[in-house]
């Protein structure tokens, strides 16, 4: 807990990032990644292998952009640095230890970036007493200029989580269906942005969660992408994200992960 507090106090980020809870969520992710290290490792290994398999097919090695670089757990940074002239990591939070890792590579940089483009406007609207939920919009094309590959890394199902939590604190409360439609639009906007890019895209994202009881029987399952229709993945695996028996849990939670190599439209 002392490490978490120290990280919270020493991480440099925009005010809206801190106030909406993105920093706390990233610190919590770090804590979970350490607690469930063994259970998570197959997912991390599968992600890194798929990313490198796609990267190996790319002819334009000028630049690769990674959306959702996070804690770098699923980013094969050393390999990408060796394969591309420039590596641009993008996320809404970059913890100090991640910054230190990045500094070890002369051709790697980090850009604080919200791919949904809703977080700062959501925060500003709240300060101004505006209840409107801002629509997600694609990032300007200059973000991906000269890129031979853009990688969206395990974020598609997460883009709506923090904004929805913040929106739920709105008073008077917003209609549930309105908030759910807004979250769906955030997911659809990011996928549409990836599908419209003029370069190759590597997408890794969970599509469904499955909750099991201690005997392994399914208790519940649902889409993590608001039922977004996706083509059949090029690869798929299960992420044991919350193993049974941890912290006294009798149930477990799995995520069904898909991976796609999306080629540009000709």
Dist. CA 93–CA 8, nearest whole Å: 11
pLDDT on residue 144: 85
pLDDT on residue 190: 96
- With 0-12 / 13-18 / 19 or more C-beta atoms within 10 angstroms meaning exposed / middle / buried, residue 171 is exposed
Q: Reduced to 3 states, what is the DSSP secondary structure of residue 256? A: strand
pLDDT on residue 249: 67
Residue ranges in the chain whose pLDDT is less than 50: none
pLDDT on residue 42: 98
pLDDT on residue 225: 98
Please provide the distance, in angstroms rounded to a whole number, between the alpha carbons at the two ends of the chain: 52
Handedness of CA 142, 105, 64, 188 (dihedral sign): negative
Answering whether pTM is above 0.75, one says yes
pLDDT on residue 138: 79
pLDDT on residue 194: 95
pLDDT on residue 266: 61
């Amino acid at each position: 807990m002392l490490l978490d507090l120290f990280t919270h106090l020493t991480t440099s980020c925009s005010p809206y990032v801190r106030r909406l809870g993105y920093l706390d969520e990233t610190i919590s992710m770090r804590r979970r990644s350490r607690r469930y290290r063994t259970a998570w490792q197959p997912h991390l290994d599968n992600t890194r292998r798929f990313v490198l398999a796609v990267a190996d097919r790319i002819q334009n090695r000028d630049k690769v952009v990674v959306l959702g670089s996070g804690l770098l757990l699923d980013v094969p940074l050393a390999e990408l640095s060796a394969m591309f002239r420039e590596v641009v990591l993008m996320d809404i939070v970059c913890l100090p230890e991640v910054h230190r890792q990045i500094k070890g590579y002369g051709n790697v940089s980090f850009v604080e970036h919200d791919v949904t483009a809703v977080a700062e406007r959501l925060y500003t609207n709240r300060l101004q007493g505006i209840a409107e939920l801002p629509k997600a919009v694609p990032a300007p094309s200059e973000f991906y200029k000269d890129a031979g590959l853009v990688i969206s890394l395990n974020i598609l199902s997460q883009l709506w989580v923090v904004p929805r939590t913040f929106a739920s604190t709105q008073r008077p409360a917003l209609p549930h269906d309105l908030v759910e439609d807004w979250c769906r639009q955030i997911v659809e906007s990011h996928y549409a942005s990836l599908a419209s890019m003029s370069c190759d895209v590597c997408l890794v994202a969970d599509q469904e969660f499955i909750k099991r009881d201690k005997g392994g029987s399914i208790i519940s399952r649902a889409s993590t992408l608001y039922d977004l229709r996706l083509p059949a993945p090029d690869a798929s695996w299960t992420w044991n994200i919350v193993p049974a028996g941890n912290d006294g849990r009798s149930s477990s939670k799995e995520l069904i992960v898909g991976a796609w190599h999306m080629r540009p439209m000709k």
